[in-house]
């Protein structure tokens, strides 16, 4: 028996022995109520008389503070003293006689049932309660959702139709703290894409007018096409795809291309692969789940691929990830991997990542202190953290998520900045206290928490902000996953409008992607003009979206684009395996508790140098290897067209006169070995900033 087990066994024996003494000797715990009440009255009387002599003493530092001390109820100050003590003792004695139960347990539950029934119902506020308390009593209204219904669990509140229109706030959801979305979210009708685009345009134009800005000219079709491919499929278009698009002269050619990229079955695999990687990076970072012993990134990717292919509503995805659904077998697609990858016994990591990924609220700092200049309290973090401590992980060949083995939620204490210790109170994501029944049934609690996570109005806002930043370079907040007030939101009306439409369209995030790709800013040139030169979010000011913000490609997009020209015939499995290997070079895990990582794929000498010498780059620029360059070199095209072909493939544009001249001169110099000259041109193009940027 280990020392730990010995201690545990001795402790259990000690508890048991005390109980055995009680059973055999018939010694029951005494009723100390009158004694305690009398002593309490005495202390109160003493304190009151001493309070006139000076300030009240500070509480001792080792004494625990009660949960949420700010919610104090104001109490009157009656005259105490001997008379008070006498009244207290007689009252308490009378109460003790009346209330002392024959069956203590039954009486206690009956009385507490009555007491809790007296608590204000949702929507009702008690006199003197703070607005925040009132907000907690009014959980957000449930919207139409694809989530599974669970009649046994409490619902979040009345439907929006139950509320009078004048009760709808003017600016819902943007000014709330976490985790209590205090106001109801108005439900709006789902608008057709044209109406959504028109409203987006109007709201953006209003901001431009106020700031005296004019948008950049429209981007050329070829440039726009490259962007659309890069942002929807994560790679540049092939020459055929580009030419097909340019050959289409209809006014709706852009709509048609977006429809093809988002809906066509021919792109289903690519689309699923790209967006699964995108969401996996959001959920667990680039290194999450790549180590032995933690969750399995590939299994998470498998789940996400399916979700993308089915165009699963985003709130449904959030529910599945947060409820840790599905098998945990290694390799089998499963949403449970999100929990497995972030699992720590104290659930701090998943609290942090889940709120950032799904709510766009970064609350990690509130582990140690209240939010600076904001409404969120340290208690809010720990209350949410507590209800996320419902799962354990059983280690082994295939780690799996299991319901926590302890009975009920654990007790969680945290230290306030002043050194006092406080106890976390379990609160559901909507801010309401977790029902006691759920704190004992952890599987049901996890489902309830997942459900409320998914139904939070923050989900739509965070989704809009994240996809907007993905497509347009900057989100409405910076960073994109920190929308906690008082963080400034550059376009609150637009964010609110799009979030309401996302909800109205049942969290169809691919529809949201369609709106953004067809929006004004996505179709503008990336050039800075005299009319929009003050729109420079790169310097830290809020964006106005008067132009498309050029930015470096993500490593995944660079890899897919290089593969397209280096090894187009590679199977998907080959590509996935090689990509995993390739991406590993560019991201390092910082091995911190919160799963931090460092990207080496930043603009700079190191990145350029590594890319120039990268084996994939070597293969892409080798005319002897089977691939795009070999095809061009071997084709009977005249040199000028070959050069144009290379430019079109890499940069989606024709070469300028100067570029053409230089390239032709190079070909003339290597008349005896034209393939080598083409290799040099191709290498220069693939290593250019233009190729490595989305512009």
Partner 1 sequence: MNSASQMDVSLKPDWALFIQTHQRDVWRYLRALGCSPALADDLTQETFLRVLQRPFEDIHHRATAAYLRKVAYSRFITECRRSARTPEIARSDAIDRCWQQWVGDDSSDELIEHLRGCLEKLTDRTRRALQLRYEKQASRKAIGQALKMSEHGAKNLLQRAKKKLRECIERRARRAERPAAVRSPHPGKES
Segment 112 to 131, residues that bind partner 1, using CB under 8 A: 112, 115
CA angle, 363 then 367 then 369, to 5°: 95
What is the closest distance, in whole angstroms, from the C-beta atom of residue 75 to partner 1 in the complex?
5
**Contacting range for partner 1; rule: CB under 8 A; set: 19-27, 302-310, 626-634, 679-687:** 19-27
**Contacting range for partner 1; rule: CB under 8 A; set: 103-111, 252-260, 464-472, 524-532:** 103-111
What is the closest distance, in whole angstroms, from the C-beta atom of residue 177 to partner 1 in the complex?
19
**Contacting range for partner 1; rule: CB under 8 A; set: 105-113, 466-474, 523-531, 588-596:** 105-113
Q: Which of 39, 368, 637, 673 binds partner 1 (CB under 8 A)?
A: 39
Instruction: State how far the Cα of 310 lies from the Cα of 180, in Å rounded to an integer.
Output: 32
Q: Which of 100, 162, 169, 624 binds partner 1 (CB under 8 A)?
A: 100
Nearer to partner 1, 45 or 523 (CB): 45
What is the closest distance, in whole angstroms, from the C-beta atom of residue 426 to partner 1 in the complex?
7
H or E element in which residue 99 lies: helix 82-99
Nearer to partner 1, 190 or 443 (CB): 443
Report 132-171 residues binding partner 1 (CB under 8 A).
147-153
Report 603-642 residues binding partner 1 (CB under 8 A).
none
Residues in contact with partner 1, counted by CB under 8 A, come to a total of 109
Name the β-bridge partners of 401: 393
Instruction: State how far the Cα of 595 lies from the Cα of 350, in Å rounded to an integer.
Output: 10
Burial of 669 (0-12, 13-18, 19+ CB in 10 A): exposed
**Contacting range for partner 1; rule: CB under 8 A; set: 81-89, 199-207, 304-312, 665-673:** 81-89
Nearer to partner 1, 85 or 553 (CB): 85
* Distances in whole angstroms, Cα of residue 397 to Cα of each of 102, 321, 362: 53, 21, 33
Contacts of 288 (CB under 8 A, 6+ apart): 280, 294, 295, 297, 341, 342, 595
Residue 662 binds partner 1 (CB under 8 A): no
Instruction: State how far the Cα of 484 lies from the Cα of 489, in Å rounded to an integer.
Output: 10
What is the closest distance, in whole angstroms, from the C-beta atom of residue 405 to partner 1 in the complex?
10
What is the closest distance, in whole angstroms, from the C-beta atom of residue 289 to partner 1 in the complex?
17
Nearer to partner 1, 344 or 693 (CB): 344
Residue 21 binds partner 1 (CB under 8 A): yes
H or E element in which residue 401 lies: strand 400-403
Nearest to 653 by CA among 640, 665, 644, 662: 644
Residue 77 binds partner 1 (CB under 8 A): yes
Nearer to partner 1, 127 or 192 (CB): 127
Instruction: State how far the Cα of 141 lies from the Cα of 162, in Å rounded to an integer.
Output: 9
Residue 658 binds partner 1 (CB under 8 A): no
Q: Which of 1, 53, 105, 569 binds partner 1 (CB under 8 A)?
A: 105
H or E element in which residue 400 lies: strand 400-403
Q: How many alpha carbons lie under 13 Å from residue 243 in its C-beta half-sphere?
A: 7
Q: Which of 2, 53, 61, 62 binds partner 1 (CB under 8 A)?
A: 62
| Phi and psi angles of residue 598, each rounded to the nearest 5 degrees, phi first | -125, 130
Residue 540 binds partner 1 (CB under 8 A): no
**Contacting range for partner 1; rule: CB under 8 A; set: 56-64, 242-250, 492-500, 598-606:** 56-64
Torsion angle, CA of 240/244/247/250, rounded to 10 degrees? -170
Report 440-479 residues binding partner 1 (CB under 8 A).
440-441, 443-444, 447
Nearer to partner 1, 441 or 597 (CB): 441
Report 317-346 residues binding partner 1 (CB under 8 A).
324-326, 328, 336
H or E element in which residue 25 lies: helix 3-25
Residue 99 binds partner 1 (CB under 8 A): yes
What is the closest distance, in whole angstroms, from the C-beta atom of residue 79 to partner 1 in the complex?
10
Q: What is the DSSP code string of 447-494?
A: HHHHHHHHHSHHHHHHHHHHHHHHHHS--SSSSTT---TTS--S-HHH
Asked, as a colleague might, if the bond just before 486 is cis with ω within 30 of 0, I would say: yes
Give the length of the chain: 695
Q: Which of 2, 72, 170, 249 binds partner 1 (CB under 8 A)?
A: 72
Nearer to partner 1, 391 or 685 (CB): 391
Residue 242 binds partner 1 (CB under 8 A): no
C-alpha radius of gyration, the chain, whole number: 32
Q: Which of 1, 32, 266, 372 binds partner 1 (CB under 8 A)?
A: 32
Number of Cβ atoms within 10 Å of the Cβ of 170: 4
Report 365-424 residues binding partner 1 (CB under 8 A).
391, 400-403, 406-409, 411, 413, 423
Nearest to 307 by CA among 515, 557, 509: 509
What is the closest distance, in whole angstroms, from the C-beta atom of residue 325 to partner 1 in the complex?
5
Residue 200 binds partner 1 (CB under 8 A): no
Residue with tokens 């204000």: 120
Nearer to partner 1, 151 or 165 (CB): 151
DSSP three-state, residue 388: coil
């Amino acid at each position: 028996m280990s020392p730990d087990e010995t201690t545990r066994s001795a402790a259990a024996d000690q508890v048991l022995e005390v109980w055995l003494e009680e059973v055999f000797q018939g010694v029951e715990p005494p009723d100390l109520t009158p004694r305690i009440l009398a002593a309490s009255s005495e202390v109160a009387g003493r304190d009151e008389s001493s309070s006139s002599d000076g300030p009240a003493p500070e509480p001792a530092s080792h004494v625990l503070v009660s949960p949420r001390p700010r919610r104090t109820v104001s109490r009157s100050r009656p005259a105490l003293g001997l008379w008070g003590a006498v009244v207290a003792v007689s009252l308490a004695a009378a109460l003790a006689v009346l209330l002392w139960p024959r069956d203590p347990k039954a009486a206690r539950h009956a009385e507490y049932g009555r007491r809790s029934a007296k608590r204000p119902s949702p929507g009702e506020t008690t006199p003197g309660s703070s607005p925040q308390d009132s907000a907690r009593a009014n959980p957000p209204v449930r919207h139409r959702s694809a989530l599974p219904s669970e009649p046994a669990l409490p619902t979040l509140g009345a439907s929006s139709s139950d509320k009078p229109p004048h009760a709808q706030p003017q600016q819902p959801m943007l000014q709330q703290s976490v985790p209590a979305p205090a106001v109801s979210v108005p439900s709006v009708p789902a608008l057709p894409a044209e109406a959504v685009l028109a409203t987006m345009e109007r709201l953006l134009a209003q901001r431009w007018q106020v700031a005296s800005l004019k948008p950049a000219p429209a981007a050329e079709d070829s440039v726009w096409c490259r962007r659309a491919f890069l942002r929807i499929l994560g790679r540049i278009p092939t020459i055929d795809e580009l030419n097909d698009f340019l050959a289409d002269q209809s006014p709706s050619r852009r709509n048609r291309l977006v429809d093809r990229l988002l809906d066509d079955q021919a792109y289903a695999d690519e689309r699923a692969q790209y967006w699964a990687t995108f969401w996996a990076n959001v959920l667990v970072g680039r290194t999450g789940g790549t180590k032995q012993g933690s969750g399995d990134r590939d299994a998470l990717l498998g789940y996400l691929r399916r979700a993308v292919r089915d165009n699963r509503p985003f709130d449904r995805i959030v529910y599945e990830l947060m409820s840790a659904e599905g098998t945990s077998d290694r390799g089998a697609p499963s949403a449970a991997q999100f929990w497995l990858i972030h699992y720590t016994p104290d659930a701090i990591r998943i609290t942090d990542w889940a709120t950032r990924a799904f709510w766009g609220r970064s609350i990690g700092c509130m582990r140690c202190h209240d939010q600076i200049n904001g409404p969120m309290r340290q208690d809010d973090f720990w209350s949410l953290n507590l209800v996320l401590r419902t799962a354990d992980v059983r280690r082994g060949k295939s780690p799996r998520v299991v319901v926590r083995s302890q009975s009920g939620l654990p007790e969680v204490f945290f230290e306030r900045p002043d050194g006092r210790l406080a106890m976390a109170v379990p609160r559901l994501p909507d801010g309401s206290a977790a029902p006691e029944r759920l704190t004992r049934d952890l599987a049901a609690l996890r489902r309830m928490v997942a459900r409320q996570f998914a139904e939070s109005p923050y989900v739509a806002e965070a989704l809009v902000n994240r996809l907007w930043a993905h497509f347009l370079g900057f989100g409405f907040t910076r960073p994109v996953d920190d929308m906690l007030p008082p963080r400034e939101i550059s376009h609150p009306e637009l964010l609110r409008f799009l979030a309401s439409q996302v909800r109205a369209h049942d969290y169809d995030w691919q529809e949201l992607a369609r709106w953004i790709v067809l929006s004004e800013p996505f179709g503008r040139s990336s050039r800075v003009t005299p009319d929009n030169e003050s729109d420079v979010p790169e310097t830290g000011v809020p964006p106005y979206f008067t132009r498309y913000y050029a930015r470096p490609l993500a490593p995944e997009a660079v890899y897919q684009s290089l593969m397209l020209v280096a090894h187009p015939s590679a199977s998907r499995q080959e590509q996935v395996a090689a990509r995993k290997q390739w991406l590993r070079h560019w991201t390092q895990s910082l091995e911190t508790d919160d799963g931090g990582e460092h990207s080496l794929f930043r603009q700079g000498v190191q990145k350029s140098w590594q890319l120039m010498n990268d084996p994939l780059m070597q293969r892409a620029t080798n005319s002897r290897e089977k691939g795009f360059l070999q095809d061009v070199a071997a084709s009977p095209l005249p040199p000028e067209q070959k050069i144009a072909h290379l430019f079109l493939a890499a940069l989606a544009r024709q070469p300028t006169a100067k570029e053409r001249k230089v390239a032709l001169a190079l070909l003339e110099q290597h008349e005896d070995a034209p393939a080598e000259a083409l290799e040099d041109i191709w290498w220069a193009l693939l290593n250019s900033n233009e190729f490595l940027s989305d512009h």
